Chain A
Amino acid sequence: MSLFYICLTFIIKISYNKVYHKYTVSCRLMSGVILLKTCIAAMPSYTYVLKGEKLLKARGYPCEIRRNEKISKNGCGYSLYIYNDCKKAVEILEKYSVPYTISEYGGV
C-alpha cells in the first residue's frame, strides 16, 4: 500500500488597521496532497465500474473511474481507484455482486 504524506502550504497574511487599531489575520490554503490508502479494482465492463462507483460513493468511499493504462490479458477496460479502507470497500462490491479483480495496491 503506498501512501502520500500530507503536505499543506498556507499563505498567512497579517494586516494592521491604523484607524481602528486592529489586527486582521487571514489564512489561505495554497496546495495540499492528501494522505490516501489506495487500491485499484479492475472490472470487466463500464456497467460494473459505474455500479461499483455509485455503491461506494453512496456509502462514503471516495473512488474514481479510470481507463486502464495497461491492456490486461482481458483487453482494455476500466478500474475503480478506491481511496479508503479497501477491505471494507470490496466487501460492499461483493455484497452487491460487482465482479472485480484487485489489480494492484498503489498510489496515484
Chain B
Amino acid sequence: MRAMKFRAWLALVAGILPATLAAIVLFLAFYSWPAMHFNGLGFVVRDTWNLGNLYADPIMRHGTQVQPGATYGILFLIVGTLLSTLIALSIALPMGIGAAIFLAEAVPERLRLWISFFVELLMAIPSVVFGLWGYVVVIPFLGRHFYPLIAHSLGKVIPFFAEPTGSGYGLLTAGIVLSLMIVPIIAATLRDALVSQPASLREAALGLGATRFEALWKVMLPGTRKTLIGATFLALGRALGETMAVLMVSGNALNYLPHRIYDPVSTMAAFIVSQLDSALQDPTGLAVRSLAEIAFVLAIISIVVNALARLLLLVWNNSQRSVVI
C-alpha cells in the first residue's frame, strides 16, 4: 500500500517534465494567438519585418489593433536559419565522421579516452564563448585571408561564392562557427557506435583480404548508418536553435535574402534576441506577440526534429548512450 503510494508520488512529480514542455508550447501559442490571427500563413512566406509607423495612432485591421504599415514576415529568417544550418552540417558531417573513425580505429585505447574527452569538451563550451571567439578572432581571419581566397578561386566558377566578400560577418561565418558547435555531437555518437560494433565483423572482413581501412569503410561504417542519421538530426536540432554564437557573427540582417555566401543573415533564434528591444516600442504589443510566434514556430520545429532524432536512435538502435547530449 505504502509502496504504491511512493510510486504514484514519484510518477506525479516526474510529470513536471511533460508539463513544462506543454506549458512552453501552449503558452507561446496562447500568447502569440493575436499575431497568428493577424499574420496568417503569409508569416512564413513574406520577407518583410516592419513594425509600421510607430508615431501614428494605431488602426484596426482584420479585427486587430496595429500600427499603420505594420507587416510581419519571416521568410528571410527561415532562409537564414536553413542555409546556416545546411552549411554547418555540410562541414560538421565529414569532419565528425572523420574524427570518429580515426578515434575509434586508429588511436590506441588508452589515448582514445582522453582525446575523445578533449574533443567532446567542445560541447561544454558555452555558446556565448563560441560567439566571443568567432567575433574576436575568426571574423578578422576569415574576412581578410580566407574569403578572398575562396572568392578568387571558387567564386570564378560559382556566382554564389563571388566577390564582394564583405567584412567577415555573415552566412558562411555563422555556418562555420555553428559547425564547430555540432561536430562533437556527431563525432561522439558515431565513435560510440563504431567502438560497439562486433569485432567479428572486422575480423571477417580482414580475413577476406580487406585492408584495415576497407574493413572499416565497407563493413563497419555501413553498420552505423542509422546511428549516424539519428546523430545528424540531433545536430540539426542544435544548429537550428543556436542563439548567442550566431547572434555575434551573423551580421544580423533585416529583411534581406542573402545573394552571396558572405552576406549578412539572421536566424529565427538570433532575431528574437536582437529585435525584442525595438519590438517593445510597438504600443499595440503586436510586435512582441509576433516574436512569440517566431519562438513558437522554432519550438515546434525543434521538438519535431529532436523527437525524430530520438525515435531514430531509439527504435533502430536501441542504444543507451552513457552521456546526455
B is bound to A: no
Chain B contact residues, CB within 8 Å of chain A: none
